[in-house]
Chains A and B, each alone.
Chain A
């Protein structure tokens, strides 16, 4: 038997508005509300809704044989909740079929793993809670932002209670093995690792509409045939991991991408030895004898499969170092809103926009709201300068006792991914303002720590 595992990444960052240096110290609203709203609407209408409907239809038509999995970031979930509840409802409908798995990741699609263990854990927990609240299912499989992975990531995530993790199938770590079996993580042999089959994934994500590609146009029967041929190699699982926005946004509907999706399941299922499965089904179903050894951090990006898209030049390093340097102050003194603003500035996209790699071909610029990486950096730094000043201001007036965030982010006692009961982890309070901050100096530090009070509950199996 061979399983085909579809996993789709769903993400929209909270883009920053054009923020001039004049606004430093006077304007604490950073979001490009109109831009984000416009893009969200476009992607919802061109991709999320039609693709969700298509997948729902395929599940029904195949009697539940078609399966897929999703990782949806907190930043896009929040935006959808606010502006496109119809999309949330359509994901909920998918969840209700039982044929769709939702995975865990960092709420803010951040690179927190690389900079702060505490913040990483906080964000993953927030995300798991959010998914559970919205879709009624608790993720047991983890995928890190941009598939940031190493042996250490696997160990960390295991401790947090997740059973399996996704990673890029990086040739240099595979030692000639195909990425089509279930692996176990070197150093954490109880952690299952599913590796992205990058060639086949990228055939759909990148090459699909490339008229210069020898396989163009790629139709479902041919692709299914490639999958069927892999039976000979003894493939257990073929992991097709791609951005969900491939459908209708990165590849326009006119390219035939939806037709491809429509016909693929039936074509794949023509071979009785093939099925579709979700990550948690696959790790339960197949043997896992090989260890995947990944001592250095890898990602799913660029030829090198490394971090250089986000952390290469001085601008990227400067910006990301400065944002994480605020952690202590934000957590000690801030309101949940301050922490939220801070965390939204951690979203990896901000640093990707600053990338000067591949400057000549403008690959990065295609996905950037900025004209150049320099503009991206300057805008981010102007925002960050204002935020730093704000944090300083609040820090100066708030009494030195642990605040709500600090308490919240204490590791859960059980050591498992703790899901707080019904309560939402972040209590809505007023946005921080100077007046508020001054007020706070006369009153005790913000309290209400739901996570602390709530009985820690083991993650559902």
Chain B
């Protein structure tokens, strides 16, 4: 299995989803997970998932590395252009180039991945080298299925398939068209190309929702028959409530402040809500390339004081705010799943979600509107802030729904997708 983000290094839902799935899937299959960086050669607790981090390349017998590397076709030009603007992921990374030494040593590889920043300006170089090194490692191992998570690992996955002929499953947690919109299809976007080539080469595609399957079919022109959507899940965890620290009620927005997450629709909704219900704060936890734009927008609308911009929060901090929030609001323009909505639901917070999200497919007891329908969003939020009946019913019904979910269900589905590869 090929992954990129993995706890404790997380940028979004990808790492959390990989973790949840790996753990549950280990009951059905033996897994070797190769990630750019691991804490040390680790085994996932209570499982037989073996985790190999490239930051230990050459230091571990399981992570051999030799130069010259196995022959392969590069998927892009090898030139060096530094792009200091590319931070954080995913702004514009699709247009960076690859810095690539023909003869990287094992030490070079270790240095490349011994960083806390999973993406960064040299992301394309990281992706290319990962493909190279991981293919070498794969050739030393015996396995049945290649399972790769998101575009950063797709080139490696495709190369392993070419080198070994083993069947390839690509897990789709997010697409470039989700992150930057339809413009991903034009201007030689490299990420889009990687995704498309990967999906074409794969034997099975596992998107995290039917919404994502439909996006892939529509924007990447992939045969719908290759898709086996498997929803993300959440395992039961202790939750708690805290007394509200603010006088106002809290509407929580949790996620990167990027085009994909619909920050301008949040601002528009907030503007409408506060006209009728001023005793509210919109709590924004996250950073992103549109943060400044969002702040400016709220200032120009005169509602800046109704917002709290908390920046990127650690998991305990997120839980603290989840324990106090009154409404969870996710106006995403295109959200393959939206795992944090399940976390919020676990905390008993009623959710207002965009219809353009995968999680909306599994949460019957959430309030849903199209991402652009800020009138409807505002009407829902107003209701949740004012009317007690719906708050208590939604919290109760959502809890039943969340308690019925488990990563084991998802893992079993994934395993059954593997089985389809070996059915004659």
- Residues of A bordering B, CB below 8 Å: 20-22, 24, 313-319, 356, 359, 374, 377-378, 381-382, 385
Contacts and interface: CB of A to CB of B under 8 A. Distances in A.
10 contacts: A22-B272, A22-B276, A22-B375, A313-B389, A314-B393, A317-B389, A377-B383, A378-B380, A378-B383, A381-B387
Contacts of B365: 374
Contact of B379 (A313, A316, A378): A378
Interface of B: 272, 275-276, 364-365, 367, 375, 378-380, 382-383, 386-390, 392-394, 396-397
A377 B387 contact: yes
B387 A318 contact: yes
Contacts of A318: 387-389
A169 to B, nearest CB: 32
Given A24-B276, A374-B367, A378-B387, A356 B393 contact: yes
Nearest to B391: A314
Contacts of A378: 379-380, 383, 387, 390
A14 to B, nearest CB: 22
Given A20-B375, A359-B364, A377 B276 contact: no
B277 to A, nearest CB: 8
Contact of B393 (A20, A315, A382): A315
B309 to A, nearest CB: 26
Given A24-B276, A374-B367, A314 B379 contact: no
A314 B392 contact: yes
Given A20-B375, A21-B379, A359-B364, A377 B397 contact: no
Contacts of B387: 315, 318, 377-378, 381
Nearest to B272: A22
Contacts of A356: 393, 397
B371 to A, nearest CB: 17
A158 B80 CA distance: 94
Nearest to A321: B389
Contacts of A381: 383, 386-387, 389-390
B389 A21 contact: no
Given A374-B390, A381-B389, 19 more contacts: A20-B375, A21-B379, A21-B382, A21-B383, A22-B375, A313-B393, A314-B389, A314-B390, A315-B387, A318-B387, A356-B393, A374-B365, A374-B367, A374-B394, A377-B390, A378-B380, A381-B383, A381-B390, A382-B379
Contacts of A316: 389
A439 to B, nearest CB: 28
Interface of B is mostly: helix
B379 A315 contact: no
Nearest to B397: A356
A301 B389 CA distance: 23
B279 to A, nearest CB: 14
B389 A315 contact: yes
A319 B388 CA distance: 10
Contacts of B378: 21
A359 to B, nearest CB: 7
B135 to A, nearest CB: 48
A314 B390 CA distance: 7
B382 A315 contact: no
Contacts of B367: 374
A314 B396 CA distance: 10
Contacts of A21: 276, 378-379, 382-383, 386
A289 to B, nearest CB: 46
Contacts of B275: 22
Nearest to B378: A21
Contacts of B394: 374
A461 B393 CA distance: 49
Nearest to A354: B389
Nearest to B388: A318
A35 B378 CA distance: 24
Contacts of A385: 386
Nearest to A318: B389
Contacts of A382: 379, 383
Contacts of A20: 375, 379
A22 B377 CA distance: 12
A377 B393 CA distance: 11
A318 B393 CA distance: 11
B379 A377 contact: no
* Top 8 A-B pairs, shortest CB-CB distance: A318-B389, A315-B389, A378-B383, A21-B382, A314-B392, A314-B389, A381-B387, A314-B393
Contacts of A319: 389
A21, A313, A318 — most chain B CB neighbours (10 Å): A21
Contacts of B392: 314
A314 B388 contact: yes
A315 B375 CA distance: 22
B64 to A, nearest CB: 54
Contacts of A313: 389, 393
B379, B387, B389, B392 — most chain A CB neighbours (10 Å): B389
A224 to B, nearest CB: 45
Contacts of A314: 388-390, 392-393, 396
A315 B397 CA distance: 12
A314 B364 CA distance: 17
A344 to B, nearest CB: 20
Contacts of B386: 21, 381, 385
B395 to A, nearest CB: 10
Contacts of B382: 21
B390 A315 contact: yes
Contacts of B276: 21-22, 24
A377 B389 contact: yes
A319 B380 CA distance: 16
Contacts of A377: 383, 387, 389-390
A19 to B, nearest CB: 9
A174 B351 CA distance: 46
A417 B391 CA distance: 43
A22 B394 CA distance: 23
B389 to A, nearest CB: 3
Nearest to B276: A21
A20 B393 CA distance: 21
A316 B365 CA distance: 16
A316 B390 CA distance: 9
A385 B382 CA distance: 12
A21 B375 CA distance: 9
Contacts of A359: 364, 397
B366 to A, nearest CB: 9
Contacts of A315: 387, 389-390, 393
Contacts of A317: 389
Nearest to A381: B387
